[in-house]
């Protein structure tokens, strides 16, 4: 590789950094003021590029028209952002943080289908800006002039934001609200206006990023997830709420990616290392390193104690007689299901899927609810279990039964390593680190063709003959699922479970009375990883094949939705939530092409109507019914 | 007896399941300094927060300047002319002194009122004048206390709820706070002072209410409270 090539790649990286910064700055601003982690931010970016495409193809013929179209696209997205804030988010500011996340996640589903409906599924290649269609030659290598423009736009927006935040009353209020919203209100400032405007600005920045990115990458339906993943990483690396931090982090990550591409295939001590493949994980590795060394990000500040606005959670209680009877009835119904519905029937197959989902959700709930550790990358342990079992079965020639036993061990080992890092953080940062590890696992699986089959995955992962019928496999799944649930329940009502809840409620006080907070959380993490590994192993043998999709972000998010839907405060919650979610997904997906939007609407409805989750709400209703006020 | 500027009656407040205030009531007239006295945990801060709408669950009647504010939102309450200086000061530590004042700034309610400007406030708090470009986090405890009061004054309030201004600051600052309050009173601002420090309250207050376990146990002039040793021993002394 020549120095010239490296230089051009680095310039290319700078151009990429600009759009990355725009999305991340918006996300950071919104989080700083509203404390909402806006999962829909990637969708706003995607909307920006689609709207820009439509506007540019109509009025973008001239230089003026082109840039007007870009700005107009940003304004449109800002307006959409304002509407989202007014119609949805305003109602849930007092809800637990995870519910807000769930609601914004539902928005991503809706936006997906709206875009699919309006613009279709084809990638849309946007024209380059008039006047910037040529390339200049740097050391004999072509660099598009448009990229040069982008390199300038990034710092320009940073400068404008800085002026806005330091030189205007609005900016001063925003910075004050970032620190103490209640005090700002007590000084006579209407927060609603402030929140709406900040959300609109953040959305507008994402939209601008999308519009500016159009000439570099065609508008496509996968942009939202990539954009939100990148933006989260940048914000966390830079420090939540810090705009200059977002800029610095965007530069860092874009340049490291550019460097990886420039390095190409390198031989090192006899090993061939393919750096371009590393780009998929580079940002997550950077994030993991930064979070471990400097948990509050490069330019962020250690978070003070956040003024709690949520309600104090009631302690979990053992199931009452009523619930026990319902549980026994459900179990009895499940035992006869294959006999009634037919051993090979669709109901039995669906029931296996649901039971696997229940175990997955229960293990996630274990660390999220009683553990207080919000894992955004729970798919990692599911995937480790699935791939571990499949590889031991196929490559190592292990009998299926033994491979299945190994699944929790593989999940457990993954959790042992990742958990060691994760439990040193808390809150959003912990969530992001779990996500980073899941992405690292995903990209290793995705790229290690020789071992994992890459994107093709592994096929022919079938259970032993005695489990070959769906009915037999159903009974195996049911047994392991029930055993897993009972184990979790036993642990939660054991001294260890109490210790874990104590750590969740106050790590400091728990430490002070001799509970090693970090050790307890680590153990909890590992237990959850092991149970999740069982679910992964069961999944692999029930499908007969697995692919990297098993570890995708969307599986982690599905898990979150299941847990939150059911309610985090009860043990029945994840069970009710996962069953509801999977049946909903199954039935809605068969009804309509636009099942994502429908699912999104259902989630938003549930968030607004059941702010404590389904099981949580039913519990508090029944409490009210039993105890007259 | 003139019409009350702030009238609180039958006030109950809760934190989660805990009932904190029990049918609490008191009144403040325009230009008056009223002390709410009581020990730690008596419910003084909760009373002030309830008035500002910062406590989620509260019931009872709260009237300010003729308006019912018992269901009003916090920022509307502040805009009516009710200023709040919290116990923990809650300075915006990343903002400079001038920016802190900017956050508190609200337009005057009527033209006759003399509005507070940073320059006028710097006369009242000379220490802050020197530190005007310094960020809040770099101020001393006393300076932060001054800034918290000054910031609230920027909203040109008719009444200030001042929560334990003497707590945790050096004696010399306590004296300065007393001088400041007397100067403030002369501008016509009414003050509700929540205090444990009797000598400090005596310096500035006209009347006093004694609160214990969320209920009013005594109301009268400051003079009456000072002269009543049994009362002091029962509710104030540690």
Domain boundaries, chain A: 3-293, 321-626
With CB atoms and an 8 Å threshold, state whether B99 touches A311.
no
How would you classify the pairing of strands B57-64 and B67-68? antiparallel
Angstrom distances, CA of residue A176 to CA of A170, A287, B92, B155 = 10, 28, 6, 16
CA-wise closest residue to B203 among B157, B165, B152, B153: B165
DSSP string, A438-502: HHHHHHHHHH-HHHH-GGG-EE-----GGG-SHHHHHHHHHHHHHHHHHHHHHHHTSHHHHHHHH
In a domain, B70, yes or no: no
The yes or no reply on domain A321-626 and CATH 1.20.58 is: no
Task: Decide: residue B73, CB within 10 A, 0-12 exposed, 13-18 middle, 19+ buried.
Answer: middle
The pLDDT score that the predictor gives to residue A264 is 77
With CB atoms and an 8 Å threshold, state whether B104 touches A187.
yes
Q: In Å, how far from its chain's centre is CA A325?
A: 36
Fold of A3-293: ABC transporter involved in vitamin B12 uptake, BtuC (1.10.3470)
Chain-wide mean pLDDT for chain B? 91
With 50 as the cut, is the pLDDT of residue B201 above it?
yes
The pLDDT score that the predictor gives to residue A383 is 96
Q: How many CA atoms lie within 13 A of A450 on its CB side?
A: 0
Q: Which of A183, A240, A244, A627 to mutate to test the interface with B (most CBs of B within 10 A)?
A: A183
Give the separation between CA A156 and CA A131, rounded to whole angstroms.
Answer: 20
Give the separation between CA B8 and CA B36, rounded to whole angstroms.
Answer: 13
In a domain, B10, yes or no: no
CA-wise closest residue to B194 among B220, B230, B161: B161
The pLDDT score that the predictor gives to residue A309 is 37
Q: Which of A33, A168, A177, A186 to mutate to test the interface with B (most CBs of B within 10 A)?
A: A186
How many helices (H) and strands (E) in chain B? 10, 10
Q: Are domains A3-293 and A321-626 of this chain identical in fold?
A: yes
C-beta of residue A102 within 8 angstroms of C-beta of residue A566:
no
Contact A182/B at CB under 8 A: yes
Q: What does the pLDDT average to over B172-193?
A: 90
State which residues form the domain around B229: 32-41+81-235
In a domain, B156, yes or no: yes
How would you classify the pairing of strands B4-15 and A458-459? unpaired
Least confident range of A105-114, B103-112, B192-201: B103-112
Give the separation between CA A7 and CA A182, rounded to whole angstroms.
Answer: 49
Query: pLDDT by residue (tens digit) across B51-60?
Result: 999 988 889 9
Q: What are phi and psi of B72, to 5 degrees?
A: -75, 160
Minimal Cα–Cα distance from B211 to chain A, Å? 24
Q: Which of B15, B19, B74 to mutate to test the interface with A (most CBs of A within 10 A)?
A: B74
Give the separation between CA B171 and CA B178, rounded to whole angstroms.
Answer: 11
Give the separation between CA A292 and CA B205, rounded to whole angstroms.
Answer: 54
Structure tokens at A157: 């927006």
Considering only alpha carbons, which residue of chain B is nearest residue A312? B16
CATH number of the domain where residue B165 is located: 3.40.50.300
C-beta of residue A461 within 8 angstroms of C-beta of residue A394:
yes
Structure tokens at A222: 């996968």
Structure tokens at A100: 């807000």
Burial A431-451 (b: 16+ CB within 10 A, else e): bbbbbbbbbbbbbbbbbeeee
Among the partner residues A176, A189, A311, nearest to B75 by beta-carbon distance: A189
- Give the H/E segment covering residue B62: strand B57-64
Q: Torsion angle of alpha carbons A366, A367, A368, A371, nearest 10°? A: 100
C-beta of residue A16 within 8 angstroms of C-beta of residue A231:
no
Structure tokens at A333: 């119904």
C-beta of residue A487 within 8 angstroms of C-beta of residue A480:
no
Q: In Å, how far from its chain's centre is CA A415?
A: 18
The pLDDT score that the predictor gives to residue A628 is 44
Minimal Cα–Cα distance from B232 to chain A, Å? 33
DSSP string, B70-98: TT--HHHHHHTTEEEE-TT----TTSBHH
What lies within 8 Å, CB to CB, of B193 at 6+ separation is B33, B34, B35, B36, B162, B165, B181, B201, B204, B205
With CB atoms and an 8 Å threshold, state whether B78 touches A186.
yes
How would you classify the pairing of strands B4-15 and B18-29? antiparallel
In a domain, B93, yes or no: yes
With CB atoms and an 8 Å threshold, state whether A175 touches B92.
yes
Contact A505/B at CB under 8 A: no
C-beta of residue A54 within 8 angstroms of C-beta of residue A124:
no
ipTM over the 0.90 cut-off: yes
- pLDDT beneath 70: ranges in chain A: 1, 270, 303-314, 612, 623-629
With 50 as the cut, is the pLDDT of residue B1 above it?
no
Structure tokens at A5: 């090539």
What lies within 8 Å, CB to CB, of B230 at 6+ separation is none
CA-wise closest residue to B126 among B173, B84, B182: B173
C-beta of residue A275 within 8 angstroms of C-beta of residue A330:
no
The pLDDT score that the predictor gives to residue A310 is 41
Contact A164/B at CB under 8 A: no
Find the radius of gyration of the CA atoms of chain A.
Answer: 25
Give the separation between CA A80 and CA A50, rounded to whole angstroms.
Answer: 14
The pLDDT score that the predictor gives to residue A303 is 61
Instruction: Specify the higher pLDDT residue, B165 or A187.
Output: A187
If DSSP codes are grouped into helix, strand and coil, which group holds residue A398?
A: coil
Burial A601-624 (b: 16+ CB within 10 A, else e): ebbbebbeebbbbbbbebbeeeee
Give the separation between CA A162 and CA A493, rounded to whole angstroms.
Answer: 52
Count of structural domains, chain B: 1
Q: What are phi and psi of A135, to 5 degrees?
A: -135, 150
The pLDDT score that the predictor gives to residue A308 is 38
Query: pLDDT by residue (tens digit) across B115-154?
Result: 899 999 999 898 899 999 999 999 998 899 999 999 999 9
């Amino acid at each position: 590789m020549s120095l010239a090539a490296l230089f051009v790649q680095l310039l290319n990286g700078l151009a990429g950094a600009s759009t990355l910064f725009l999305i991340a700055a918006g996300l950071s601003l919104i989080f700083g003021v509203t404390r909402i982690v806006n999962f829909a931010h990637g969708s706003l970016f995607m909307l920006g590029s689609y709207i820009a495409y439509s506007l540019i193809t109509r009025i973008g013929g001239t230089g003026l028209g082109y840039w007007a179209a870009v700005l107009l696209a940003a304004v449109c997205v800002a307006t959409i952002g304002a509407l989202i804030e007014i119609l949805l988010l305003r109602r849930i500011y007092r809800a637990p943080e995870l519910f807000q996340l769930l609601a914004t996640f539902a928005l991503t589903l809706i936006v997906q289908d709206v875009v699919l409906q309006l613009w279709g599924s084809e990638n849309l290649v946007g024209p380059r800006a008039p006047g910037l269609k040529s390339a200049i030659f740097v050391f004999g290598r072509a660099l598009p002039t448009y990229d040069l423009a982008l390199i300038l736009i990034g710092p320009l927006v940073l400068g404008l934001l800085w002026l806005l935040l330091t030189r205007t009353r609005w900016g001063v209020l925003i910075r004050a609200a970032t620190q103490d919203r209640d005090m700002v209100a007590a000084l006579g400032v209407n927060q609603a206006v402030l929140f709406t405007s900040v959300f609109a600005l953040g959305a507008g920045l994402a939209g601008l990023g999308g519009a500016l990115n159009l000439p570099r990458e065609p508008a496509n339906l996968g942009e939202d997830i990539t954009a939100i993943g990148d933006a989260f990483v940048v914000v966390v690396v830079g420090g939540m709420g810090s705009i200059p931090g977002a800029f610095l982090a965007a530069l860092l990550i874009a340049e490291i990616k550019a460097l990886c591409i420039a390095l190409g295939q390198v031989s090192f001590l006899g090993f061939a290392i393919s750096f371009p493949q590393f780009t998929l994980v580079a940002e997550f590795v950077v994030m993991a390193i930064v979070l471990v060394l400097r948990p509050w990000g490069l330019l962020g500040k250690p978070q003070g104690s956040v003024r709690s606005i949520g309600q104090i959670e009631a302690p979990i209680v053992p199931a009452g007689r009523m619930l026990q009877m319902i549980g026994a009835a459900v179990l009895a119904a499940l035992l006869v299901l294959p006999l009634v519905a037919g051993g090979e029937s669709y109901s039995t197959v669906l029931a296996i899927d649901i039971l696997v989902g229940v175990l997955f959700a229960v293990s996630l709930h274990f660390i999220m609810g009683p553990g207080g550790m919000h894992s955004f990358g729970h798919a990692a342990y599911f995937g480790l279990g699935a791939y571990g079992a499949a590889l031991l079965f196929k490559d190592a020639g292990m009998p299926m039964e033994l491979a299945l036993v190994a699944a929790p061990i593989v999940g457990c080992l993954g959790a042992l390593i990742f958990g060691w890092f994760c439990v040193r953080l808390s809150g959003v940062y912990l969530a992001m680190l779990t996500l980073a590890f899941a992405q690292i696992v995903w990209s290793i699986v995705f790229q290690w063709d020789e071992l994992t089959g890459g994107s093709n995955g592994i096929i022919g992962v079938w259970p032993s003959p005695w489990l070959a019928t769906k009915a037999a496999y159903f009974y195996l799944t049911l047994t392991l699922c029930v055993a897993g649930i009972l184990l979790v329940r036993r642990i939660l009502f054991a001294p260890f479970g109490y210790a874990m809840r104590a750590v969740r409620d106050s790590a400091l006080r728990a430490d002070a009375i001799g509970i090693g907070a970090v050790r307890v959380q680590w153990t909890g993490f590992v237990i959850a990883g092991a149970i999740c590994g069982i679910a992964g192993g069961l999944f692999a043998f029930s499908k007969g094949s697995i692919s990297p999709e098993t570890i995708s972000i969307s599986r982690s998010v599905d898990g979150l939705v299941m847990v939150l839907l059911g309610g985090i405060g009860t043990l029945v919650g994840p069970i009710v939530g996962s069953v509801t979610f999977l049946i909903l997904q199954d039935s809605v997906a068969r009804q309509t092409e636009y099942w994502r939007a429908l699912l999104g609407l259902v989630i938003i409805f549930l968030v607004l109507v059941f702010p404590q989750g389904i099981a949580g709400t039913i519990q508090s209703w029944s409490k009210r019914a039993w105890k007259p006020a | 007896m003139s019409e009350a500027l702030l009238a609180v009656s039958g006030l109950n407040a809760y934190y989660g399941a805990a009932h904190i205030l029990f049918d609490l009531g008191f009144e403040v007239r325009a230009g008056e300094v009223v002390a709410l006295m009581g020990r730690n945990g008596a419910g003084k801060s909760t009373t002030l927060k309830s008035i500002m709408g910062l406590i989620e669950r509260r019931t009872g009647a709260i009237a300010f300047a003729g308006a019912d504010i018992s269901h009003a939102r916090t920022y509307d309450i502040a805009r009516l002319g009710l200023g709040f200086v919290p116990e923990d000061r809650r300075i915006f530590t990343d903002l400079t002194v001038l920016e802190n004042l900017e956050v508190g700034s609200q337009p005057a309610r009527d033209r006759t009122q003399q509005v507070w400007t940073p320059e006028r406030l710097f006369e009242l708090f000379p220490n802050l004048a020197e530190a005007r470009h310094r960020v809040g986090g770099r101020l001393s405890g006393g300076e932060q206390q001054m800034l918290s009061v000054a910031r609230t004054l920027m909203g040109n309030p008719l009444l200030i709820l001042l929560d334990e201004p003497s707590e945790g600051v050096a004696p010399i600052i306590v004296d300065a706070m007393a001088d400041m309050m007397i100067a403030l009173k002369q501008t016509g601002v009414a003050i509700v002072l929540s205090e444990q420090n009797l000598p400090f309250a005596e310096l500035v207050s006209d009347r006093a209410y004694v609160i214990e376990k969320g209920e009013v146990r005594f109301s009268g002039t400051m003079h009456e409270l000072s002269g009543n040793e049994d009362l002091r021993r029962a509710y104030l002394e540690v």
